[in-house]
Structure 1
Amino acid sequence: MKFLVSNDDGYFSPGIAALASTLAKYGEVVVVAPERDRSGASNSLTLDRPLSVKQAASGYYYVNGTPTDCVHVAVTGFLDFKPDMVFSGINHGPNMGDDTLYSGTVAAATEAFLLGIPAVAVSLAGKHQHFASACHAVDLLMANTLKTPFTHPVLLNVNVPDVPVAQLQEIEVTRLGRRHHAEPVIAGKNPRGDTVYWVGPVGPEQDAGAGTDFHAIRHNRISVTPLMIDLTASEQMGFIRTWLNQ
């Protein structure tokens, strides 16, 4: 198999090295990742300047753009092959619930999905950085992939508890939970005396019951959420027709 690997933490991230090393057991791996941390970049494309691709001493390629740029450039022009699968991660921290809308990790996988390639975003849900546990989850996914290959594009959002492998429970297929509103921005002063604002921390979980990604992680289960891109609010279409024709 041939894999494209990207992320949003940058090509120098230990998480991407762990992911690339794990996938190398299953085939050819090419890493194309941002030149710096682009966490929170979401699905943005760079359209106001050209992008360059350079190679680091590690052999990884890096792009002066977003995670979406990396996958788009790689698949539509830089690589001389179409990857069988695209993996994004291993992210330093979770990407669950509403956070998936902002996540550059999920965005890189989403771009691959939109380009017709099965894609997996992998995040380590904590700060202790048990990357071996995330790699174990990737091995489990690959075992199933080799047994039953995908016949059409899928987009999987995988979150792994940040605990030792021995403490991991079973894999659970989940839905996205929901967070509460974010905490207020944090105001401060820059050296010139101007008021500046830092985006505040995420708010508490609002929907984290059984079946959600939050609930799975809390119980040391590997969360796998299949995602879709259709943003149409189908249940509101009738109401909007009525509203427009009143």
Structure 2
Amino acid sequence: MADKKPRILVSNDDGYFSEGLRSLVEAVSPLGEVWVVAPDREQSAASHSISLNRPLRITEVRERWFAVDGTPADSAYLAIHHLMKDDRPAIMVSGINHGANLADDVNYSGTVAAARESAFMGIPSIAFSLVSRPPFDFQHAARFAGSLVAAALAQPRLPPRMLLSVNVPRGEPTGYSVTRLGRHSYGYDVVEKEDPRGRKYYWIGGSAYEYEDIPGSDCNAIHMDRRISVTPLHFELTDRQAMGELSNWSLEGFTRFDMARGGD
């Protein structure tokens, strides 16, 4: 009997119809049985929001290809806990995003959130993003995605909560590096306007891009070296140094009890 092909879940935040998603599907299709479960519209910067106050609807576009009228995290949740619950995916991939997800972007990105939601549920996950503006050319990002997913599936065992954020520069990359998150800024503009009824409204988000020169960072790999950045992420957000500092604070009227600090 031939070995069973691994199931590969694909999602994104640009919508089930996006060019980046189609490129990613084509890249990983030779590696396993691909299932697409993605938002039915663009959800860029949706972060890790999930829909708890309204029902969700799933539309089957074609075999193993579904559109969800929710967020990227909703799509991953429904895929793993409903559509694929009887045979969970071996790996989840998200993207290819139409734009960068470097540095602090991972906190806002719906592309990363879909992968993070899957990793929360024990599915090794990779988010892919193309650092470019239109017109987009996904060929190099797709080729790297195919190679990285093949390498991941070839491992004897992947950490079940593995989460990688991959950014690919525009044009042909010089190679790739395993990186840390960097720091960058798009500026902090607030544009105030007025509607025809005299009510003010606001556009937020800047366009003045700057990044810090941090050796080993994803920003440096992309902008200085034209390399693909592969950044492992984890979910431990506790600031252990601040725990020690907070222990020295004195709060009038309250008794402080020390807690065990596993992992110190």
Length-normalised TM-score, structure 1: 0.93
1:136 Cα deviation from its structure 2 partner: 1.3
1:153-168 equivalences under 5 Å are 153=160, 154-163=162-171, 167-168=172-173
Residue 25 of structure 1 aligns to a residue in which SS? Answer: helix
1:186 Cα deviation from its structure 2 partner: 1.4
Pairwise CA RMSD of aligned residues?
1.8
1:14-93 equivalences under 5 Å are 14-56=19-61, 60-79=65-84, 80-93=86-99
1:95 and 2:138 are equivalent in the alignment: no
Contact 1:119–1:155 (8 Å) recurs in 2: yes
Residue identity matched to 1:96: L
Contact 2:100–2:129 (8 Å) recurs in 1: yes
1:110 and 2:113 are equivalent in the alignment: no
Note the residue ranges of structure 1 that are not aligned, 5 or more in a row. Answer: none
Match of 1:173 among 154, 175, 178: 178
Cα distance in structure 1, aligned partners of 2:189 and 2:59: 39
Greater Cα offset, 54-63 or 72-81: 54-63
* Largest Rg, 1 or 2: 2
Match of 1:139 among 133, 142, 146: 146
Note the residue ranges of structure 2 that are not aligned, 5 or more in a row. Answer: 1-5, 253-264
Residue 182 of structure 1 aligns to a residue in which SS? Answer: coil
1:77 Cα deviation from its structure 2 partner: 1.5
1:193 Cα deviation from its structure 2 partner: 2.9
Contact 1:179–1:203 (8 Å) recurs in 2: no
Contact 1:33–1:61 (8 Å) recurs in 2: yes
Cα distance in structure 2, aligned partners of 1:85 and 1:146: 8
1:19 Cα deviation from its structure 2 partner: 0.5
Residue identity matched to 1:120: I
Partner of 1:225: 231
Cα distance in structure 1, aligned partners of 2:193 and 2:34: 44
170 and 149 in structure 1: CA distance in 2 versus 1, 3 angstrom threshold = farther
More helix by share: 1
Match of 2:205 among 196, 200, 203: 200
- Between Structure 1 and Structure 2, how many residues are aligned? 243
Partner of 1:130: 137
Greater Cα offset, 225-234 or 199-208: 199-208
Cα distance in structure 2, aligned partners of 1:224 and 1:211: 11
203 and 112 in structure 1: CA distance in 2 versus 1, 3 angstrom threshold = farther
Residue 226 of structure 1 aligns to a residue in which SS? Answer: strand
1:130 Cα deviation from its structure 2 partner: 1.7
